[in-house]
Structure formats: C-alpha cells, structure tokens
Structure 1
Amino acid sequence: MTQLMTERQDITERYLSDGVILIPQLLSPAEIAEIRTVFTEQVEADRSLGFDDHVPSEDILARFPRFVHPHRHPEVEAGRLARRLMTDRRIFGVVTELIGPAYGAQSMFYFKPPTARGQALHQDNLFLQAHPETCLAAWIAIDDCDAENGGLMVIPGSHQIQILCPEDADPDESFSRATIPVPESAPRVQTEMKAGDVLFFHGSLVHGSRSNTSADRFRRSLIFHYIPQTSVEVAQFYIPLLHPDGHEVTIAESAEGGPCGEGWVNTGP
C-alpha cells in the first residue's frame, strides 16, 4: 500500500502515472467520529436514503443499504454533513490539483458490516459518462480498512485503458450485478487505510472490493465523485452538479448507451 502514498508536491505526477493516490489523515479523528455517528444513527433510524440494490430481505445490506446522493437531503443531518464535506476546501483542493476546476457529481455512503458482500471490479465513469473528460473519486475511510473487512482493491495504471464493457458478476461475492473483464496478470493492490485517509482515483481506474469476512468490523466509507468543469455532459442521474461555492449547476445529459454499445442500460451509480 505504501506505493500509493505520496508527498503533496508530487500528487499530480503520481496520479497521472497510477491513476490513484492516497492522502493520509486528511480528515481529523473528531471529524471521522462525527461522520460515523451521524450516518450510523441515520440508517438505524430510517433507511429511506438507501439505494435499492435489489438485495434479498435477509441480506445484511437490506438492513444497511448504501446511501446515494445524501447531499441532496438537507432535511437530515447526514445530508447536511455530506453536502458540507463535498465542497470542503481540503478535499476540493486535492481535486482541483488533479483535474482542475471541478463540480461535485455524487455523494455516497457505504456501511459494509461483517458478512456483507463486496463490489465487483468496475470503472466509475462507465456510470457517470462524463465527457470529454472523466470523473474523479474521493474515497474517505470512516473505519480502518484492509482485506479482512473488505477494503478497496485497485489496479494502478488501469486508468490508461479504455472503459471496458461489463459482464455478469459472481453474486456470491458481489452485491452489484456487473463486473469488467480484467486479465489475471493485472497487478492488483489491496489497500490498507486508516480512518481519515482519503484515496483519490481516476474514473477509469479499475477497482472493487471483496466481502467483509471480519467478525465485528464495519468498513464504512464516505465517497464523493467530481467531474471537471470542462466536461460538457454527464449522465442525467448526476444532474444537478454542485459548484464549489455550493450552488447547483446543470450541464447537458449524456446519451444513453455509453461506451458499451447501443441498448446498454445504466442500472445504478
């Protein structure tokens, strides 16, 4: 994992080379504790912010569904917190260093309790369809995470390949239904992150995670996606975008079908 860490002065060079960088302890322990408490209390009280991933009722993820676009729900504390952090100057500052002036496109929160399945290998811009640029993810560890509790796996350098078309994923290993074909020889890196670390990665970087096999460790994460202000279109699901000053922005909607052929349907974020 150490090869993903970088000094601030060379983050752009490393990002261009690997498509992924780790900034340790970008958020403080107190901030992480607040995020953990607010989102956990929210899901325990009300799952209405949860995204419907069509998991069976007995699946642990039915009890702890991922939140998608919580920043669009200012009526609850989790929504207000997500919206504030989405434009936080520390996070947005790194985003700007990497891709220039940007808009916020999506917020997500994953709970991933013990026994929860992972998410098959994928590329984010398959879903956002930002054009002519691509998206950038800021993946914030809310718990310490590693292989045991389903930390992210990344393939450095894979952002330099084209967007790959999806195939069916193994439902025993992944709650998401699609994966992408990656040669077994591709160098997979299992991340190990401390709560407060932030992983920034390119929209074409291949990444995913395995099941949480720990006995009692959650793997909570808060994730933001951004697109350059030079992008002229994005999938309708992500409109309106969020300007760094907090106002909403609308750009053109990308055509259906994306890079995987006419008739392909975007079924989720």
Structure 2
Amino acid sequence: MTTSTLSLAPGDGAAVRDRYARDGVIQVDGLLGADEIDAVRAAFMTQVETDRGAVGAVDEVPADDILARYPRFMNPHRRTDLEVGRIARRLMTDARILDVVTAAVGPVYGAQSMFYFKPPGARGQAMHQDNYFLRAHPETCIAAWIAVDRCDAANGALGVVPGSHTMEVVCPEEADPAQSFTTGLVRPREGLSAVRTDMRPGDVLFFHGSAVHGSPPNSTADRFRRSLIFHYVPRSSVEIARPYLPLIGADGAEVTIGEAVGGGPCGDGWEGASH
C-alpha cells in the first residue's frame, strides 16, 4: 500500500470538484482547528469511559475484545441532550465541511454520524463500500472522515482505492476475522490499488459511497486512532435505508425521504457485514 497524495488545500472548490470526479476521494488538510479536535476527543473519551451505552454503541465483538470497551458510536448527532451529540450535530452542519461536500456533489442532507475509537491493539476494518449500507438512490452517499488523532501505518490509518468510485456496489466476501472486526470484504477491480492516508488531527478525508476503503489493525501499544465520520446524501436522493432517517438539513431541520426496500446487492437475508 503506497502513501496517499490526495491532499488539497481548503477553499479550492474547482479543484475539489475535479479531483472528486477523477478519484472519488479527496483529503483536505487542516480543515478543523486543534482546539476543536481536542474538544471532540475529550468529549467522546469522557462518554465512552462513563456511559458508553448511551450513544448507540454497537455490540458486535466478544466481551474480551478491546473494542467491547471502546465500541463505535452510531449516530451521536441524535443525542443532543449529551455533549457528544451537540458536537456531532454542530459539525455535521458546519459550513467548512458542507462547503467541500457541496463542491463535490452539490447540496446535501446529513445521513449519519459515527465515532471510531480504534484503541491500541484493535483490529481494523476490511475493505468495503459505504453505500452498501446506506443504499441511497439514485445518488450515492459521500463520507467526511475527520482525523481526531495522528493517523499513520502503525496505528491503522485508513486505506482508500482511488478510482474505485466508478465500481458498482457489490456483495462482500467474508473478511479475515483476525484482521477485521467486521465480516464483509470488497476487493477493488483489477488495475486499482489502495493508498494509505497520512492524516493529522483536523484533516478531513472525503470519499464517494462506492469508493473501496478500509484499515488494518492498530499495532501500537499506546496510540489511539480516533475518528469522527459523517455521511451525506445529495438532496436529489429519493430513498435511503431506514436506519438513516430522518436526514438533517444544513439548517439542522429533520427531513424524510423514501425508505429503500429489498436486500441490496446481496439480496434479502445477507448478514455478512455491519456498519
């Protein structure tokens, strides 16, 4: 896996549009400030250490797995009674993030927020495609992946496959459970290969819902690789999977569109992956 050369400076909308159309992935360095990221880190660590069950914590690993202590949080933006929820809702609708997303795909609604802790020794997540889960149609989703820690090879930085956004969303294979805490694996088509991102706190990676991405385990003894992630869908989307409703407008208002039906690319009954 080679090191990423996907970075752009903030504020260049034309470059964002062109790079996104070409690669399906863009890294914008320094989009959020150090003080903001420190506040995000502190709030989520306090939440997970005091009441990790309050914020949509996903129960998906054995009790002796380090990720049982630091589970990923799903949709904290819906818990505005908590500090982590207020932070997530505010950043989901932050103009700096929405400006990049809008430059890439046009006006959007917020669909999902997530927080990954990825503590020392944690397994990674096998290569996958996000719109397999969101099932936005006829458009696809776009992710804004915010680095909360320094992300590099040692602590399991994200790997992405430029150009894979032109693939269809496919039914995953079974992943290696020694390497991935999720079970679905998507292989990029022949001729495409992954690059490893190199990110500092406040850098944001934006990528297409069909873009293949994932990460290896955190092999460090003392470094987390935390991240706050948002997913958006273009306003032209007419349906999305039920768990992502209601959507959130740029003004914070809740919006409802149609619910996606059927089983997606694997058909009904597939349980080989989770998100």
TM-score (norm 2): 0.94
1:22 aligns with 2:27: yes
SS of match in other structure, 1:3: coil
Mapping of residues 80-95 of structure 1, within 5 Å: 80-95=86-101
Using the aligned pairs only, state the percent identity. Answer: 58
| Offset from partner CA, 1:219-262 (integer Å, 9 cap, x none) | 00000000000000000010000011001011000013112234
Aligned-partner Cα distance in 2 for 1:206–1:234: 20
Q: In structure 1, what is the equivalent of residue 240 of structure 2? A: 234
Deviation at residue 50 of structure 1 after TM alignment: 4.5
Q: In structure 1, what is the equivalent of residue 45 of structure 2? A: 40
1:141 aligns with 2:143: no
1:250 aligns with 2:250: no
1:60 aligns with 2:89: no
Q: In structure 2, what is the equivalent of residue 6 of structure 1? A: 8
Mapping of residues 89-238 of structure 1, within 5 Å: 89-182=95-188, 186-238=192-244
Are the aligned partners of 1:71 and 1:79 in contact in 2 as well (CA < 8 Å)? yes
Deviation at residue 3 of structure 1 after TM alignment: 2.2
Say if 1:184 and 1:115 are closer, same or farther in 2 by CA, change over 3 A: farther
Where does the alignment leave 5 or more consecutive residues of structure 2 unmatched?
none
Runs of 4+ in 1 over 6 A off after TM superposition: none
SS of match in other structure, 2:231: strand
Deviation at residue 177 of structure 1 after TM alignment: 1.2
| Offset from partner CA, 1:158-194 (integer Å, 9 cap, x none) | 0001111111111100000111133575321011101
Are the aligned partners of 2:129 and 2:169 in contact in 1 as well (CA < 8 Å)? yes
Are the aligned partners of 1:115 and 1:213 in contact in 2 as well (CA < 8 Å)? yes
Are the aligned partners of 2:58 and 2:73 in contact in 1 as well (CA < 8 Å)? no
Deviation at residue 268 of structure 1 after TM alignment: 3.3
* CA RMSD after TM alignment: 1.4
Deviation at residue 54 of structure 1 after TM alignment: 2.1
Where does the alignment leave 5 or more consecutive residues of structure 1 unmatched?
none
- Letter aligned with residue 161 of structure 1: M
Aligned-partner Cα distance in 2 for 1:259–1:184: 20
Aligned-partner Cα distance in 2 for 1:148–1:183: 27
Are the aligned partners of 2:163 and 2:192 in contact in 1 as well (CA < 8 Å)? no
